[in-house]
Amino acid sequence: MTLRRREFVSLSALALAGCLGNGGSAEGSSTSFDDHPSTRGIETAAVLGDEDSEKRIVAFEDPSCPTCARFSRETLPLLEEDAENGELAFYLRAVPFIRRWSETATPALYATGERDADAFWTLLESYYGNQASLSTDNVDEMTRDFLADTSVDADDVLAKADNGTQDSTVQTAVGAARDAGIGATPTFYLFDEDGFVTDTSGARDYNVFATSLGL
């Protein structure tokens, strides 16, 4: 566990403003979804909506980030409606940048998502809703509690989070974040049928996404 923690923490230096971002780039390009650095290894991301949608958002979030929790609480429900209506695909890539307990929570999220997509979102929302109570001392116990009413075996998830089984998945997401140049969490990369549109960071209002993507 110690070696993995040191590796994740060193990578977190690329997000020095982690959980504090509130801006973004308005400069688009013709880069396709498949060729953009934010989408490398995207097959491991959790997805809301139809992946064949022409309008897509790739989000990098940390389960320990309060700004990410605010976005999830205030804006994501509206984007989820668009996803349910077939207008949007929303990809969530978890990365451990802010608090140390996220180094357990992040691989636990990926291990959960491999078993049950709905349980992934349940676990993420549980982390967001209980950030003030979570710590490295209790993250295992609280993860078990959060998964108790799902179909997922929490002990199996935590074993895979602890033994390094999910490390390559986490590192792939971190590498994509680094290559895309994120400076904060949450950061979002927006795409339409022509490719990359723009990126933005922080707990952005729904209108930012709706205007950029024509939702």
At 167 the pLDDT is 86
**Residue range 118-148, pLDDT digits in tens:** 999 999 999 999 999 999 999 999 999 999 9
Average pLDDT for residues 178-190, to the nearest whole number? Answer: 92
Going from N- to C-terminal start, the domains of the chain cover 2-213
In this prediction, residue 163 has a pLDDT band, given cuts at 50, 70 and 90, of confident
- The 10 Å Cβ neighbour count of residue 117 is 13
**Residue range 36-80, pLDDT digits in tens:** 999 999 999 999 999 999 999 999 999 999 999 999 999 999 999
Least confident among 122-126, 176-180, 187-191: 176-180
The angle at the Cα of 67, spanning 64 to 68, to the nearest 5 degrees, equals: 65
CA distance 123 to 129: 10
Judged by DSSP in three states, 85 sits in coil
Helix axes 66-74, 117-129, angle to 10 degrees: 120
Bridge partners (DSSP) listed for residue 118: none
- Enter the CATH code of domain 2-213: 3.40.30.10
The structure's pTM equals: 0.88
At 19 the pLDDT is 59
174 phi, psi to nearest 5 deg? -65, -40
Question: Residues with Cβ < 8 Å from 22, sequence gap 6 or more?
Answer: 184, 201, 202, 203
CA distance 98 to 76: 21
**Which two three-digit tokens encode residue 174?**
């971190």
